[in-house]
Amino acid sequence: MEKALARLLYRLHDLSAPVLPNLRRIAVEYRDTGFDRVFDNWTLIAFPSQITELEFRYSFSPAMPSWLQRALRAKHDRQACSPTWTTPSVRILTVLGAGASVVLDLGMTCPYVESLITDVPLRA
């Protein structure tokens, strides 16, 4: 899925041949996977400037044991430094089903975010 998403974003980002110039929102759902994929694969490195709303939903199938779900949520380590890529056009960031560290790391890629929607309590 990462390659397909990266290719789509790259194609939308290609300024020489605009595709879907009115597209403003991208929503991605990860199912039964860890939380590092978007960082490990640099999925958002070629991000289209017309996108102002970005949503990530992480979910697990009912068959996945709850202990494994907790282990996957806890496994994500904060990025050692600020990501080398940003999504400056994003104004609304939604991250659901992930831990606080994933929300914070994704938030760091959106320097001009105006609204953050999440289902985890963030602590200072």
Q: Tell me the pLDDT band of 44, cut-offs 50, 70 and 90.
A: low
Q: Is 20 domain-assigned?
A: yes
Q: Is 57 domain-assigned?
A: yes
Q: Is 66 domain-assigned?
A: yes
Write the CB contacts of 103 (distance below 8 Å, at least 6 apart in sequence): 95, 116, 118, 120, 122
pLDDT digits (tens, 9 = 90+) for 51-91: 899 999 989 999 989 888 877 777 666 655 556 778 899 99
Determine which helix (DSSP H) or strand (DSSP E) holds 5, and give its type and residue range. helix 2-13
CA 22 to chain centre: 21
Average pLDDT, the chain: 80
Write the CB contacts of 106 (distance below 8 Å, at least 6 apart in sequence): 38, 56, 93, 95
Q: Is 82 domain-assigned?
A: yes
Q: Tell me the pLDDT band of 94, cut-offs 50, 70 and 90.
A: very high
Q: Is 45 domain-assigned?
A: yes
Give the model's pLDDT for residue 78.
62
Sheet strands (E) in 1-124: 25-31, 53-59, 92-96, 115-118
Number of separate domains in the chain: 1
**Among 12-26, 43-57, 71-85, the least confident range:** 71-85
